A and B are shown apart, each in its own frame.
Chain A
Amino acid sequence: MDWLFFSEIGLAGLGSGGLYALTGLALVLIYKATRVVNMAIGEILMLGAYVFMGFSAGLALPIWASIILAILVTGLVGGVVERAIIRPMLGESAISIFMITIGLGSVLIGVVEIIWGANPQRLIEFMPKDPIFILDAYLSPKVGYAFLIAAIVVGLFLIIFRTWRGGVALRATAGDQAAAYSMGINVPKVFSSVWVLTSMIAAGAGILVGSIGGISPDMGVYGLSVLVVVIVGGLDSLLGALIAGILVGLIETYAGAYLGGEFKMLATFMLLVVVLVIRPYGLFGTHEIERL
């Protein structure tokens, strides 16, 4: 066994796991606050990457401005989506809302294809290019910096949720909507801001993912792996999303390296099946007890 190769793969897996954790965080946030599983998260991520490409390559704006603008525009789209199609569905069954986000994903793919075409494209390189060595193991600089950025963003969000007033409002809404409402928390506003916020996170993740592997309209498949991440971690657990993100990243990369590319999806979904059989509500999810 080649330990250097093993640890290099492990580092790469950790890197992609960081991005999974970041996107998983967005998915868990939406679920916690609004009880919606956003199947369109992969497509929102793709939209963010394309908007970034539009600003940086299309309009030739500086990279930092393009990143900020892309994140803002995607956040705006998230807000509009919440207001236009998620709000009218309040109180409908979980399955209807689930399907509506699938429909949304499909619409987003079509819009991106009309504006930017269906072919895969590359983003402008903006991350440092010097190779990173951790002990002797080589790590692709893109993956390394993406992981670093993802880790910082995740850390920032966790701190914000603990301390900032809005974060407290969000956690209160997640705990009990009716109680939060009667305590004077503006629940509709929390819903909107969660959608804006998570779309912004997804856009950031999209730019990172896109700068590693290029972008294409079917990049939304990434959302499927993220779905596995949050189910494995537990839909309503932030910690679960982080740990499962790293876990899925590692398993996927190892499967891809040792068994072949076609085993990547299989390995993650096998993990999903195993977790569903052993712990149906995810590793850290709360088991809701139903009463008549």
Chain B
Amino acid sequence: MRIGTVKESYIADAALFDTKVQRGWMFALLAGLLLLPFFTGQYASYLVCLVLINIVSTAGLNILTGFTGLVSLGQAAFMGVGAYTVALMEIKLGTPFLLNLLVAGGLAAVIGIVVGLPSLRVKGLYLAIATIAASVILHFVFANWTSVTGGVSGLSMPPASLFGFEFIQPDQVYWIIMPITVIMLFGAANLFRTRIGRAFIAIRDRDISAEVLGIRLLRYKLLSFAISSFYAGVAGGLWAYFFRVVTPESFPLTMSIFFLAAIIVGGMGSILGSVLGAVFMTMVPEVLKMMVGVLSPIWPDAVAVMSPVRIIVFGGLIIIFLIFEPDGLAEIWRNIRRFFHLWPFKT
């Protein structure tokens, strides 16, 4: 049972990590992240990097959908903008990767603002469908603006480099992806301790009331779009450094649905939820793959059934979570924590 966490000031009450235990765990997690590549193989590093990239993008979408209440099905397309920007800058200019990532995020944010412009006039489903339109149009640009994007065959780019060291293998790119992910997650968590973040939440809860309270709807909705697309752009840039080939088919509409599914499964309106959702949704297909590996000696058809089963599990998870645990894995996690905090008393 947890006792003695009385708070004496507002600052202590609004702190990101309010107990020593929590801070301790946080340091343990960071230390774990720093030591991780020394204990895992290439494949595990590959998975970890993929998870981290998805976490960045999911956190961005959660800011827009989970915190501001605006549904977007354009997240993958914004990632595409980031990935193409990084690839082009790396090929044509050879600028340092941090600058490339920043520009990628910035450009995605600008396009996000343009896409978000209808959000003042339309909301809910109409907005979701407007973002589908944006992603169809962006996909068309990627595939047909051949002189810049390389058309259907896409772009291949050199690896990121720092002082002559090239980040090629997954456990090397990890050192780019991991720190940026951590920084961006802290940024997202802190955002909701500021006026801007609280304005987003007010808009989600009831946008007309928020306007009455003096929140400028257009400005904050566009800001939310911009921040969310910035996250997507950076995630797309990391994606480009990770795979080093960018094609129009890398960022399909189903990927946007994947991110929406991740925030539903993880928990809308929760940074922890973005992390849990992205980890869970990225790992489920891998677990299925492992099960196929185990099953295939006994049941030869397992490989053929794998792909449809993955699609069913994906859809099934969305449905099951929405019906039985709409607050997602984050809520399950909170319940478990509450149980241990209050033990031996009943919750």
List chain A positions with a Cβ less than 8 A from chain B.
37, 85, 88-89, 92, 94-96, 98-100, 102-111, 113-114, 118, 224, 227-228, 231, 235, 262-263, 265-266, 269-270, 272-273, 276-277, 280-281, 290, 292
Contacts and interface: CB of A to CB of B under 8 A. Distances in A.
B267 to A, nearest CB: 13
B37 to A, nearest CB: 34
A88 B317 CA distance: 16
B243 interface: no
Which of A113, A269, A292 has the most C-beta atoms of chain B within 10 angstroms of its own C-beta? Answer: A269
A89 B323 contact: yes
B137 A269 contact: yes
Interface in B304-347: 305, 307-319, 322-323, 326
Nearest to B209: A292
A292 B144 CA distance: 46
Nearest to A266: B140
A7 to B, nearest CB: 28
A269 B208 CA distance: 29
Contact of B323 (A85, A228, A281): A85
Contacts of A114: 305, 308-309, 312
Contacts, number: 127
B112 to A, nearest CB: 16
Given A111-B312, A280-B122, A273 B143 contact: no
B316 to A, nearest CB: 6
Q: Taking chain A's interface residues, is the majority helix, strand, or loop, or is none over half, making it mixed?
A: helix
A106 B260 CA distance: 13
Given A103-B322, A273-B130, A111 B208 contact: no
B2 interface: no
Given A110-B311, A110-B312, A276-B133, 16 more contacts: A88-B323, A89-B322, A95-B69, A99-B264, A100-B318, A102-B257, A104-B319, A106-B315, A107-B315, A114-B312, A227-B129, A231-B126, A262-B144, A263-B140, A266-B136, A292-B212
Given A262-B143, A262-B144, A276-B126, A103 B316 contact: yes
Which of B128, B212, B326 has the most C-beta atoms of chain A within 10 angstroms of its own C-beta? Answer: B128
B125 interface: yes
B93 to A, nearest CB: 30
B71 interface: yes
A149 B199 CA distance: 53
B312 A281 contact: no
19 contacts: A37-B125, A95-B65, A95-B69, A95-B124, A96-B322, A96-B326, A100-B323, A102-B260, A102-B318, A103-B315, A107-B311, A109-B315, A110-B308, A110-B311, A110-B313, A110-B315, A118-B308, A290-B208, A292-B208
